[in-house]
Structure 1
Amino acid sequence: MSIAETLIPPRPAPIIESAGMRRGQLAGYGILAIWLLLAISLIWMVVSGWDGDYFVKYGPRYLHGLWTTIWIVAVSIAIGAVISLPIAFARLSKNRLISSLAFGYVYLFRGTPLLAQLYLVYYGLGSFRPELQSVGLWWFFREAIYCGIFTMALNTAAYQAEILRGAIDSVPRGQHEGAASLGIGKVVAFRKIILPQALIVALRPYGNEIILMIKGSAVVSVVTVFDLMGETRYAFSRTFDYQTYLWAAIFYLVIVEALRHVWLSFEGRLTRHLKR
């Protein structure tokens, strides 16, 4: 081999694009084109069908429904977070009876539709009015909004418990052993070492759960709760205009996107030490 051949690196072999890669790119471009057409169609329908009188009349109702939706979801998530803590610890328990009961709760609420759960609480428990009155709980279960919050809290508690359990399990066993070797008690080690690491892992699933609850909260409108979807149904019953649901979809999209960006910023701030 000559000196020139040793100094000049060999020419890299050309990359041959397979037919499968080309088909995948074409499919991706096709899907993007379809989404662009849908977005353009949506914008055209909104602009062409703009009715100022409609928004003057029903705009305040939409805003009231939007506030009701945010309030219901916030309260449900907060109550569900409190309920999920003992359920997650029960799922981690070595006692088979306790862990089995917690598993049954999680399996029931994750395996059945939220709408069916709401019907069972609102209509099912509502059929036991004398019994509920005798124990002083009828004032709660006669109100549709309370039943909606109660059902959503129980539902999200099952999902949050699984998120927390999985996050705690993801912390390496060496963290527990290291804390024990330093003489740190189990409670202090869990609170200051295990739980902070688990919550970082659970941040994104928690954000997804909140977004799912925002979209799932629309089911409370079927039991006469005037949330965003309930106000939309009211407006449609008066106007029979399909744009009532179009604007509801836009409101939900804005809420989800705003929450997604806020949550990403919050997650980035809490995990900034991991990016250094």
Structure 2
Amino acid sequence: MDMSYMVDVFLELLSGVPLTIQLVATSTAAGMILGLLLAFMRMSSSAAVRLFAQTYIFVFRGTPLLVQIFLIYYGLGQFHHTLQDIGLWWFFREPYWCAILALTLNTTAYTGEIFRGGLQSVPFPMIEAGRAFGMSRFVLFRRIVFPIALRQALPAYSNEIILMIKATSLASIVTMMEITGLAYKLISETFRAVEVFVCAAAIYLVLTFVITRVVQGLEWWLSPHLRRDPKWMMRRDGDRHYAKSQAASSGGL
């Protein structure tokens, strides 16, 4: 492999990183809000609301993201006259918005199930303690339920964010020039697939590394009870050794 050529390719592919980050950030932010709403719908007392949420999750988790992008971009494009009449053609004629919509709808299904598991894992005695202090439902959710649920769901949700980073590569099929789209363009011009895809994979690895470190920092911040103070550990071990020596001396007497 030509290293000088790979450096040039790497620098050229970096120009697609802002679009990749934009796709991930927009779809993930929207998917987080919609996913939280979907989690509440899954836990609703209404059978109709639960059925709608279950059907949505079943459809979007059971079909490939590639097919969903095709249906939104190419499928809905067949109804451009109808979309134009209702004023939505400006949205569906742009590949950027179609990619955002497909990624958002897909990640919402997975995020909803992740948040549902996190919400259901909150210990009920903590909720009862909040009620005993007279907290309203909103305050109880903001100060107790949501922080604990987020901490429980964070490891699984970090995997979903990583999957979304890799899923943005599918946006290249609707002419989006993100990292993979630029890689396909370079390969069509030079026919040097190995060097180009190695550079693209390296960029995705760097993005994944950054995301995992950010999530680990957030998890550490949300888990103060799991942090270890070296001084406290030494003091605790010293007290333990002192108690053992006192017990041994008492036994000797």
TM-score above 0.5? yes
Q: Residue 201 of structure 2 aligns with which residue?
A: 249
Following superposition of structure 1 onto structure 2, how do residues 99-114 of structure 1 map, counting pairs within 5 Å?
99-114=50-65
Q: Find the aligned partners of 1:190 and 1:140 in 2 and give their Cα distance.
A: 35
Aligned match of 2:125 in 170, 174, 184?
Answer: 174
User: How far did 1:236 drift?
Assistant: 0.1
Following superposition of structure 1 onto structure 2, how do residues 119-268 of structure 1 map, counting pairs within 5 Å?
119-242=70-193, 243-268=195-220
Q: Which has the larger radius of gyration?
A: 1
Q: Find the aligned partners of 2:92 and 2:7 in 1 and give their Cα distance.
A: 34
Instruction: Give the AA of the match of 2:220.
Output: G
The answer to whether 1:49 aligns with 2:2 is yes
Is contact 2:121–2:149 with CA below 8 Å preserved after alignment? Answer: yes
Q: Find the aligned partners of 1:216 and 1:141 in 2 and give their Cα distance.
A: 20
Q: Residue 41 of structure 1 aligns with which residue?
A: none
Q: Residue 4 of structure 1 aligns with which residue?
A: none
Instruction: Give the AA of the match of 2:199.
Output: W
User: How far did 1:59 drift?
Assistant: 5.0
Q: Find the aligned partners of 1:107 and 1:68 in 2 and give their Cα distance.
A: 29
Q: Which runs of 5+ in 1 are unaligned?
A: 1-47
- TM-score with structure 1 length normalisation? 0.78
Q: Find the aligned partners of 1:188 and 1:51 in 2 and give their Cα distance.
A: 58
Q: Find the aligned partners of 1:191 and 1:92 in 2 and give their Cα distance.
A: 18
SS in 2 for 1:152: helix
User: How far did 1:60 drift?
Assistant: 5.2
- Aligned pair count? 227
Q: Find the aligned partners of 1:240 and 1:152 in 2 and give their Cα distance.
A: 30
The answer to whether 1:275 aligns with 2:219 is no
The answer to whether 1:69 aligns with 2:36 is no
Q: Find the aligned partners of 2:11 and 2:79 in 1 and give their Cα distance.
A: 37
Q: Find the aligned partners of 2:10 and 2:138 in 1 and give their Cα distance.
A: 52
Structure 1 segments (4+ residues) deviating >3 Å: 58-61
Q: Residue 12 of structure 1 aligns with which residue?
A: none
Structure 1 residues 102 and 187, CA, compared in 2 at 3 Å: closer, same or farther? same
Instruction: Give the AA of the match of 1:259.
Output: I
Q: Find the aligned partners of 1:145 and 1:122 in 2 and give their Cα distance.
A: 10
Give deviations 1:102-140, integer Å, cap 9, x for gaps.
111111111111101111100111111001101111111
Q: Find the aligned partners of 2:62 and 2:180 in 1 and give their Cα distance.
A: 24
Is contact 2:220–2:227 with CA below 8 Å preserved after alignment? Answer: no
- TM-score with structure 2 length normalisation? 0.85
Q: Find the aligned partners of 2:46 and 2:171 in 1 and give their Cα distance.
A: 37
Q: Find the aligned partners of 1:171 and 1:136 in 2 and give their Cα distance.
A: 44
Q: Which runs of 5+ in 2 are unaligned?
A: 229-253
Q: Find the aligned partners of 1:50 and 1:181 in 2 and give their Cα distance.
A: 66
Is contact 2:147–2:222 with CA below 8 Å preserved after alignment? Answer: no
SS in 2 for 1:225: coil
Is contact 2:20–2:178 with CA below 8 Å preserved after alignment? Answer: yes
User: How far did 1:269 drift?
Assistant: 2.5
SS in 1 for 2:84: helix
User: How far did 1:55 drift?
Assistant: 4.7
Is contact 2:32–2:111 with CA below 8 Å preserved after alignment? Answer: yes
